[in-house]
Amino acid sequence: MGGLLAPGGIGGAGVNARYLERSGIGRAESVAAVTLASTAGFAVYVAALVTLGGILTGTGVPPIPVPSRWILLAVVIGIAALAGAVAGSPQPPAPAGSGPRDGAQPLGRPPPPAAGRPAARW
């Protein structure tokens, strides 16, 4: 519904950002994630457009110089080691009440009664 009222996909981006916020991610992080996804999609679109345009017009795509296999292997191993170090590092405990599901109730159900009070019958 948000994509119908706003121009150029802004509504869909707003819906995605709001979903991320409601999932417990901060506003800055959710906007950054949606912006990064949109920018990556635009970059892939332009790359595909340029590649297909070069192929269809007959001009071709100029060859890209590729480094040797050993350099590529070293780069891949370095990236994997960095990702493993980041993923394996201990995370500080989150403060109580900061999780996305803390205090959340399933839709359609009333919250549980407070201690010492009987549950309301509807």
- The per-residue pLDDT string of the chain (122 residues; one tens digit each, 9 = 90 and over) reads 555 555 667 778 888 888 888 888 888 889 899 999 889 988 999 989 888 887 777 776 677 777 788 888 889 999 999 888 877 767 666 666 555 555 555 555 555 666 666 655 55
Question: Is 47 within a domain?
Answer: yes
Decide if 69 is inside a domain: no
Quick one: pLDDT at residue 3? 52
The answer to whether residue 119 sits within a structural domain is no
Any domain includes 48 = yes
Residue-number span of the structural domain to which 47 is assigned: 1-59
Tell me, what amino acid is at 31?
A: V
The answer to the question of residue 28 being in a domain is yes
- Give the residue carrying structure tokens 């890209």: 64
- And the tokens for 107? 């839709």
Asked if residue 78 is part of any domain, the answer here is no
Domain membership of residue 87 (yes or no) is: no
Residue 69's pLDDT is 86
The structural domain count of the chain equals 1
Give the model's pLDDT for residue 24: 87
Q: Is residue 10 part of a domain?
A: yes
Indicate the Cα dihedral angle 46, 40, 31, 7, nearest 10°.
Answer: 30
